[in-house]
């Protein structure tokens, strides 16, 4: 079974890199949107198996997106992984408090951490 992943990332370059990492990791179909409003709409209209969400987005931050998705009965059970440049302890706590299942700083270990988290969530085998 191919798992559906929604990637919400405003940088096309980073989106391409993350999509490549995910698709190379296993049987995943990665859909990319570049802003929060498109992410919310896509999650509601075509619910994915997982959302990978940046925090820094042009129209609203990822914390707000995560809270909205977790409040909506149609999307509240979709796992959300926040993948972001914001690596402070307070940002991590904010992400987890917003309902994220994991919070991954974009560092040299990010790709490995992301794949490990997908395996732990049962998205990858």
Task: Give 65-95 pLDDT, tens digit per residue.
Answer: 999 999 999 999 999 999 988 888 899 999 9
pTM of the model: 0.95
Structural Rg of the chain based on CA atoms: 13
* Domain coordinates in residue numbering, the chain: 3-120
> For 10-61, how does the pLDDT look when each residue is reduced to its tens digit (9 = 90+)?
999 999 999 999 999 999 999 999 999 999 999 999 999 999 999 999 999 9
Element (H, E) at 116: helix 110-120
Q: Would you state the pLDDT for residue 105?
A: 92
pLDDT-derived band at 125, boundaries 50, 70, 90? confident
Region 93-120 average pLDDT: 93
More confident residue, 2 or 8: 8
Q: Are 15 and 7 in contact (CB under 8 A)?
A: yes
3-class secondary structure, 112:
helix
Domain 3-120: CATH architecture, name and number where available: 3-Layer(aba) Sandwich (3.40)
Find the helix packing angle between 89-98 and 62-71, rounded to 10°: 20
Give the containing element (helix H, strand E) for 22. helix 12-25
**pLDDT confidence of residue 119:** 93
Nearest to 104 by CA among 47, 39, 50, 26: 50
Confidence of residue 120 (pLDDT cuts 50, 70, 90): very high
């Amino acid at each position: 079974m191919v798992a559906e992943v929604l990637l919400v990332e405003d940088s096309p370059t980073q989106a391409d890199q993350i999509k490549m990492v995910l698709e190379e990791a296993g049987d995943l179909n990665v859909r990319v949107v570049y802003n929060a409003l498109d992410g919310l709409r896509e999650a509601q209209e075509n619910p994915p198996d997982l959302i990978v969400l940046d925090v820094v987005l042009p129209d609203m931050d990822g914390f707000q997106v995560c809270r909205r998705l977790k409040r909506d009965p149609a999307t509240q059970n979709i796992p959300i992984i926040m993948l972001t440049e914001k690596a402070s302890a307070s940002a991590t706590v904010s992400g987890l408090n917003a309902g994220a299942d994991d919070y991954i700083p974009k560092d040299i270990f990010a790709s490995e951490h992301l794949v490990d988290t997908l395996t732990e969530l049962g998205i990858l085998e």
